Structure 1
């Protein structure tokens, strides 16, 4: 079994993560219902049944109701907390009549956010806290103060980021006593910039690629776990209607279906296995509340081990829609 960067830091986790963004219902102030809790319980049980032990949250998900819903599950299962890894994020603030939506990495906001996260989850600590999106007004020393206070109080074990470039991570880390452990990025068989950025070095086609140069290599070299949000590409390769999609997406979906049939597995396992085949040991965050779809991901890790170079490149080139340079 390939050792993941998080495991080298003493965080025992699974190759897959369940993203809890859909928990709690709509993104409004409507109350959490028993049906919402039941849906979440079924999703958690499906995740646990396929070996998922890590759960991803953010303070903004369904305006805090996702964490509240998960907290109700934890309260009903007191032995569960020590068997799982909980990760949450902060730094995004909603807008109102006076100010727009914005990012906030101030010490006060980070500390206040974590207190709210812990209260909603009903737990004393987070295993991992991520800063959600880059804040142009970030001051690394101020972030370091917040992280230090959270660490010394036992409220957060480890820290990471989401959607940050290599330069932003280096800039932040120069003020931190400990290295960051995670960078969560949008990566999938549809979102290919993380690969195209490398293969288009010294190519004119590279000017249209939107991905931080050297980011994958930086994270791999510094044992920062790369997590992938949106890894199933909203189901485009695993059964979603594709009438409005370009030919390369439709062709790749057909290829995924054929490979799944030939290997006796699911399209979800092929799509995730392709992502996990990358040497960065990418950790996908599955963002569905559907138990059947969660269980369909069961075979992803074994498919990643069995996937050949030729199979991996067939999927990559098909989804690109054009041959490699």
Structure 2
């Protein structure tokens, strides 16, 4: 397993996204967690809206059934999304964390992320919430999700706690984080800066990028792996998988891990077998030529 430094915490480069675990049987969930721990991917990403809270409840039942398990895992959750709106008010953040902890059956979160930017956000009010949660020991570290660079800068200006994480969509079929820089000084369709160069900002500020939906195309259209819509990309993944001795899905994860930003891949699989396979991505490092060949096979162009 590769590891990333997150302030005082060392985290695995492959993490488990828990959006879909609500429907797993207790035995299957236990097997998924055991596989994650065995392979070093003992980082679990939750959100209060996943499964309407049932994903956290399922994980909480597993923690309750297995004393000592909590000390073997790193738990992150997210809050701030409400039906038809976003809410970063102090009261909502604190109430959300209390609900998260209750569903998980734990006394603390290793990380709390604000899920999507709230345009009514008041950084000083968020700071009050974070400070209260930190002093009570309910949350140990903080971050955000889906923020651009200016939104991060604005929030950090009023928050005393270091924002350690920004969870962003990134993968071979969602390359917005890198397209702008690669198309700089051109009239290519991807040349306009849409996110405030958030990738470079996070690197400069030592903010860990967590890549969500790494195997998806579009927003939530589906996976590109073994998808007939993307023959050239899948052929290249198979070719390079054979070269490096890993599966196409591990190759797709290795493409993300190869970036010098040192990202963390949040994989949403509920299959212990697939999780173990994805973790093999940490055993290889793509050459520069192979990394770019995958970028081009995904339909991208270089100036």
Whether TM exceeds 0.5 here: the answer is yes
How many residues are paired up?
298
Query: Where does residue 87 of structure 1 map in the other structure?
Result: 76
- In terms of mean alpha carbon deviation, does 35-44 or 68-77 score higher? 35-44
**TM alignment of 1:1-325, pairs within 5 A:** 4-6=4-6, 9-25=7-23, 36-94=25-83, 101-206=84-189, 211-233=194-216, 234-237=222-225, 239=226, 241-242=227-228, 245=229, 249-303=230-284, 306-319=285-298, 321-325=299-303
* Closer/same/farther in 2, CA of residues 189 and 92 from structure 1, 3 Å limit: same
Secondary structure, aligned partner of 1:59? coil
- Deviation of 1:45 after TM superposition, in Å, equals 2.0
TM-score norm. by structure 2 comes to 0.94
Q: Structure 2: any 5+ residue segments left out of the alignment? A: 217-221
Question: Following TM superposition, where does structure 1 have runs of at least 4 consecutive aligned residues deviating by more than 4 angstroms?
Answer: 206-210
* Closer/same/farther in 2, CA of residues 211 and 4 from structure 1, 3 Å limit: farther
Q: Structure 1: any 5+ residue segments left out of the alignment? A: 26-34, 95-100
- Deviation of 1:198 after TM superposition, in Å, equals 0.7
TM-score norm. by structure 1 comes to 0.88
- Deviation of 1:138 after TM superposition, in Å, equals 0.6
Matches of 1:285 and 1:209 in 2, distance apart? Answer: 27
Q: Give CA deviations for 1:137-158 in whole Å, capped at 9, x if unaligned.
A: 1111110000000000000000
- Deviation of 1:40 after TM superposition, in Å, equals 1.8
- Deviation of 1:173 after TM superposition, in Å, equals 0.4
Matches of 1:252 and 1:167 in 2, distance apart? Answer: 33
Secondary structure, aligned partner of 1:12? strand
Matches of 2:94 and 2:261 in 1, distance apart? Answer: 31
Contact persistence 2:238–2:248 (CA under 8 A):
yes
* Closer/same/farther in 2, CA of residues 113 and 171 from structure 1, 3 Å limit: same
* Closer/same/farther in 2, CA of residues 210 and 50 from structure 1, 3 Å limit: farther
Secondary structure, aligned partner of 2:238? helix
Matches of 1:210 and 1:88 in 2, distance apart? Answer: 29
